[in-house]
Amino acid sequence: MDRDSAAKKMGRLKAEISRHNELYYQKAEPVITDVEYDALERELSALENQFPDLAVTDSPTREVGSDRDANFPSVAHSRPMLSLQNSYELAEVEAFDQRVRKELRSAADEEGSVYSLEPKMDGVALAVRYKDGRLFLGLTRGDGRHGDDVTANARTFREIPLDLEPGWQDVFPGPEVRMFEARGEAFLTFSRFQALNLEREAAGQDSLANPRNATAGTLKTLDVDEVRRRELSVFFYQLFPLYPEDPDKQQTADGNLEFSDHFSEMKALETLGLPVNPFLKKASQISGIEAILKELETQRPHLDYQIDGVVIKVADRKSQLKLGATAKAPRWGLAFKFAAEEAVTLLRDITLQVGRTGVITPVAELEPVELAGTTVSRATLHNWAEMERKDIRIGDRVVVVKGGDIIPKVLRVLKEHRNGKERLLAAPGVCPVCGHTTGQQDNEVALRCLNPLCPAVVAGRLRHFASRNACDIDGLGDRSIELFLELGLIRGPADLFGLDPAVLSELPGWGEKSAQRLVLGLEQARRRPWSAKIFALGISQVGVSTALTLARHYPDIDRLREATAGDLADLPDIGPIVGETVVAFLSSSAGGTMIDDLKAAGFFLDEELLPPPELAYQGETWFGGKVFVLTGTLERMKRTEAKEAIENLGGKVTGSVSKRTDVLVAGAKSGSKLVKAEQLGIEVVDEEQFELLLAEAQKTVAENDG
């Protein structure tokens, strides 16, 4: 693959992975399996290794996906909250063990390293902090560096003590502890999940999709009483003291040397009264590891909570420190994922769904079959390229899997069962909903309805506009949207603000109270945070985090519409592809009309509720106000560390060199970015110069803060 083709491919992969991160972390609506997601990441990582000068600092291969939500305050993590590397084959577990043995020089040791093995919960990461024995903070994973403050919701967990028993400090054998943090996984038991769905069905509400999605949505619910009613559970797996007032002590604490190994850490959690998973095993040989993997997979169907694999950790703390971590995952741990359960059934038909962006998705209508504890009758086929690759036809016998116990999909076709009556489904030339022509956007395999007024597109856009991370409109559900569209009361988001309460109160299933509730919800939507309003527009590839970035740099809709693709490309975590997508939407006929109508309805304000700026030093340093690009290999610090240091000193880091770039930090093996910077006359510093400038600036900060 040549360099230009690689750049385009990397851009497409980055956008695709970012989209799936948004669906998984922010919307709790994944559409692909973990295996498929990891395959995308590996493909991008391979290209980054082949073309290192094209790699960007905000690549999803180097950062944890983000569940940040503008509705909740952001709090810095005490240390990065990383994820684990996934594995799907026993050979990968063996390779992990061999690497650990080699790096710890224990290959000759007959016993090898001792590993801890415990269930990999399919839930949502949660951290809690205690001070003087009292719970004072609850945090989500967020982007791994900052999490969302969900303290009020964390206090509703029955298993999490609000106050600890006297003598709790005795579990920490190190220096006196006043504050500590425990990390774990929040989840919803199967029994509670089923009970909630029965309650919702009786109340005429939509069912919750699955326990993991329900947990994610519940943790980000603003109604604390509703969170308490849902009765979330949690298992903790990590514990460490905090010494914010004493950096020397904290350095020791960061190594977790207070606990000699993971087993003593888990015992300490249990002694504190924090719940831990009862399944915890140890092994030092591959044969022992494999036996435990099989044991837990056998127990899996009988558990009252959802697991999707086994977490394997080097138990010894000093060994963990020696092995270290990448920017995204610790090198002393591995998540072994169980194979998805399979079933064989008949593909009766293929129907077409049109989403809010116009994407037409083929859906397999199946002979109902039991799979992973539920009845599956439908499965996504993704797109026509995927159908062609698998040669899927109506009437086929197919193998269906439920990846991660969540997403039914057709894995493969049993072609030996064909009788010649099977039928191919051609890609439609017209939209199945509105009859308008279809087409594909640049570099996309997805087929779209090109009519911005397609009823399916309008309905999807309205659902997105009203969703929790967008306008969070109380009283406006899917059924109401469908009813309003069917009656011709609305044609787009702006029409919502003109609905007549008197007319609403006369609708089937409505009344004066329901109408007033919706009117109040719409009025509150006008006062939503500016970033939530940007997200509500439904711009392709603009998730919650990207909307937050745009809101920090453009304080109102008019100034955002004036931005060029080049302006946006220089913003952190956006880049040229997303920048072009945003400008294309804002300047399109459909996007422009939608925004004009919302302005006329009073949705956009002259003074929007702006997000707080990212925490950074506000004094004068060499870094303040400058735009940096990092390229090549930094040998003494990670790119993420350099990026964070620059931003903390008031600078900005972007992924591409342009006329707006002030400084290029050039590591070893710098490529085209260095050439371009020299052509544009941009200041270039090597790693040694960068470290000297960084040390000088940090000294200035320390002196001023002191």
CA-nearest of 642, 149, 138, 80 to 328 is 80
Residue entry with tokens 């606990």: 259
Helix residue ranges per DSSP H, 57-210? 90-103, 151-154, 190-202
The H or E element that residue 350 is part of is strand 342-354
In one-letter notation, the amino acid at residue 539 is I
According to DSSP, residue 624 is labeled T
Give strand pairing partners of 147: 75
Catalytic residue among 120, 337, 402, 533: 120
Give the span between the Cα atoms of 43 and 64, in whole angstroms. Answer: 17
According to DSSP, residue 207 is labeled P
Judge contact between 282 and 263, C-beta under 8 A. yes
In one-letter notation, the amino acid at residue 364 is A
Residues in the chain, total: 706
Give the span between the Cα atoms of 125 and 183, in whole angstroms. Answer: 7
Judge contact between 478 and 206, C-beta under 8 A. yes
Phi, psi of 652 (to 5 degrees): -125, 145
Triad 267, 268, 271: Cα angle to 5°: 90
The H or E element that residue 50 is part of is helix 34-50
Give the span between the Cα atoms of 334 and 323, in whole angstroms. Answer: 13
Give the span between the Cα atoms of 240 and 231, in whole angstroms. Answer: 26
**Edge-to-edge strands, sheet with 179-187:** 134-140, 124-131, 179-187, 233-242
User: 202-213 as b/e, with b when 16 or more CB fall inside 10 Å?
Assistant: eeeeeebbbbbb
According to DSSP, residue 405 is labeled T
120 catalytic, yes or no? yes
Count Cα neighbours of 179 within 13 Å in the Cβ-side half-sphere: 13
Give the span between the Cα atoms of 152 and 154, in whole angstroms. Answer: 6
Residues designated catalytic: 120
